[in-house]
Structure 1
Amino acid sequence: MELHVRYEGNDDPEKCTARRLAKFDEAALHRSTRATPPGIVLNPFAERALSPADSDESRLVALDCSWETAEAEAFDLAGSQRSLPFLVASNPINYGTAFQLNTVEAFAGALCILGERTQAERVLSHFSWGQTFLDLNEEPLKRYADCADSSDVIAIQDEYLAD
């Protein structure tokens, strides 16, 4: 699956997972909205959750920006807008925080849900904490990947949020 990033460039370049993905030819960075191709846009403000029903798409698009400046308008990119369900960050900055994923974690979570686990493992392999993301989220990722559609994903997410 192609990975594309609308790159804002407002984070520390040394900690930017999108830049590292581009360095290893895992993702393409785009400096403008117009240059960013359409696909499944990973948008935390989207009303519909990503599910295996979205697996017919061949492209994932993420916005790489600071959580402090992330606003719904910034995710106005062409394509199907989808939010990721409950997942826990493993990166050193947001470790253990639900829904606060960095770019590579968002891509990896989406890839697992869409049945592309091998690609998720590959993109995470460029980070010392990458395998930890899969370990922390092993059960929910497997359960989300077994869902039929977005409503099933939300039902499973609600179980995690109720605990």
Structure 2
Amino acid sequence: MKVTVYHAEECDRKKCTTFRMAKKGKFKIVNHLNQLPYGALVLNPFSEKSVSPEDRDMVIKRGVAALDCSWKKVKKSAVIFKTSKYHRSLPFLIAANPTNYGKPCILSTAEAIAATFYIVGLKDIAEDIMSHFKWGPHFLILNREILEAYSQADSSLEVVKIQNEFIGGT
């Protein structure tokens, strides 16, 4: 599966999930945004549309692109979000990585990409990605119920509805 990650060099390389996955040959790291593949699904926390099973064909054909950077520093209107028209945010999930364990919506890049594959129905790829980390399988166990629900949704709107019901919204 094609996974390309723009890396902004803002993290500790020893803890970086992107670098570990690149060493394993699972992710390709690029240093310029124009190197992200055209038509790939871009994980963007500011996107109004959530990842859903309806994105499966796009992910299979074009892959997934992620931005490994501090989201606290990124502006919503930043130029990086003009890299593709296929932007998707992730719905509510709980981090299992040691740095942010138990924190909602603060996932490592590997967790975010694995969640994307799981939600679009490519669960074996999600499991493979997480198998490269001691804590990785726990991410899938911790979020299994909600990931399963998201993966059964028909659309992005339904994923958001499931998310809102799960966190107690309407």
Residues 1-163 of structure 1 mapped to structure 2, 5 A cutoff? 1-38=1-38, 39-57=40-58, 58=60, 59-72=63-76, 73=78, 74-162=80-168
Secondary structure in 2 matching 1:29: strand
| Residue 121 of structure 1, CA deviation | 0.8
Q: How many residues align?
A: 163
Unpaired stretches in structure 2, ≥5 consecutive residues: none
CA separation in 2, counterparts of 1:109 and 1:22? Answer: 18
CA separation in 2, counterparts of 1:98 and 1:76? Answer: 27
Unpaired stretches in structure 1, ≥5 consecutive residues: none
Give the counterpart letter for 2:128 in structure 1: R
Secondary structure in 2 matching 1:34: helix
Q: Mark the CA change 1:108 to 1:149 in structure 2 (over 3 Å): closer, same or farther.
A: same
Deviations 1:8-53 (A, max 9, x none): 1110010111111100000100100111113000111100011000
CA separation in 2, counterparts of 1:102 and 1:156? Answer: 22
Deviations 1:32-75 (A, max 9, x none): 01111130001111000110001111300110012432333244
CA separation in 1, counterparts of 2:111 and 2:81? Answer: 17
CA separation in 2, counterparts of 1:54 and 1:66? Answer: 25
Q: Which runs of 4+ in 1 moved over 3 A?
A: none
TM-score normalised by the chain length of structure 1: 0.95
Deviations 1:87-137 (A, max 9, x none): 000001111111111100000100000111111111111111001100110
Give me the CA root mean square deviation: 1.3
CA separation in 1, counterparts of 2:36 and 2:161? Answer: 32
Identity of aligned residues (%): 40
TM-score normalised by the chain length of structure 2: 0.91
Q: Is the 8 A contact 1:50 1:110 kept in 2?
A: yes
CA separation in 2, counterparts of 1:93 and 1:116? Answer: 26
Secondary structure in 2 matching 1:56: helix
CA separation in 2, counterparts of 1:94 and 1:76? Answer: 28
